[in-house]
Amino acid sequence: MKKRIKLIQKILKNQGNYNGAIDGIIGPNTIAALSTISAIHPSWSRQRKIVAAIQVFANKKNIPCKPIDGFWGPITQVAFEALYAQEFMNPQRPFFRPEEIIDVNPNNWPKQYTPSFNTFFGDQGTGLVSVNLPYRHKLSWRLTKSVGRIKCHEKVAESLTRVLDEVLRTYGQQKISDLRLDVWGGCFNIRPIRGGRKPSMHSWGIAMDYDPNRNRLRWSSEKAEFAKPEYKDWWSIWESEGWVSLGRSRNFDWMHVQAAKI
């Protein structure tokens, strides 16, 4: 909690709304400074006000973190990490910008967890086909082994092939290996989302994970390798086919890309 308080104290001080020490203590000066933030309700507890302030300042820095409710969750966690890194660690690292996402949908991917989604893809585990990969994929859990074919849903097979063909043309085999674009974390797998009850998009074979060890679920753009500038073309290729990166859209789970809108 002390790191959260220090972060807010530093931001408020930079704005000229706080004159106290950056000590991680919620004293009268900190409370008075928090009262200048209109989104924070006066009746909230001190801890809740700090969390809400993190959410407010994250959104101001184009770090997605909504709703602003003062409650801590996975989205607030990754937003805090990104905001803290910008203020205390490495502000020079380029930050991903959601507004740069190419908002197209040439394959008419439906929105996840909607009736149209169920109509489009059917039941979990149905409509699966095997796809030949244009370059071999190393298994992230066993890098000495690679595969040349994977299972996915038949409705994403052609699009997935086009994406990977373009990745090979754009980067070439050596750079693919150097950037670990061939380190594969899986596609089809009937399971719930991590930390939740809803089924994962992997349950339909319409999501791909890449290099999970360097792009972990709760890592923000400050830590995730796929948030670096050298992966810009990688994301442009996926997005030109309408695939959605959770990292680019929500700033967590940078390993994951799916053929469903969110």
**Rounded-to-integer distance, Cα 58 and Cα 230, Å:** 24
**Rounded-to-integer distance, Cα 202 and Cα 192, Å:** 9
**Rounded-to-integer distance, Cα 104 and Cα 107, Å:** 9
Q: Which two tokens stand for residue 79?
A: 């937003």
| DSSP string for 44-112 | S-HHHHHHHHHHHHHHHTT------SS---HHHHHHHHHHHIIIII-TTSPPP-GGGS----TT-PPBT
Domain spans, the chain: 2-89, 98-258
- Residue 58 to residues 81, 213, 220: CA-CA distances in angstroms? 10, 25, 12
Nearest residue to 106 (alpha-carbon basis) of 153, 151, 156, 150: 156
pLDDT digits (tens, 9 = 90+) for 169-205: 999 999 999 999 999 999 999 999 877 789 999 999 9
User: Would you place residue 250 in the very low, low, confident or very high pLDDT band (cuts 50, 70, 90)?
Assistant: confident
pLDDT at 105 over 60: yes
**Rounded-to-integer distance, Cα 78 and Cα 252, Å:** 6
User: How confident is the prediction for the chain on average, in pLDDT?
Assistant: 90
Average pLDDT over residues 60-83: 84
State the CATH class of domain 98-258.
alpha beta
pLDDT digits (tens, 9 = 90+) for 111-164: 999 999 999 999 999 999 999 999 999 999 999 999 999 999 999 999 999 999
Q: Which two tokens stand for residue 210?
A: 């890449």
Residue type, 197: R
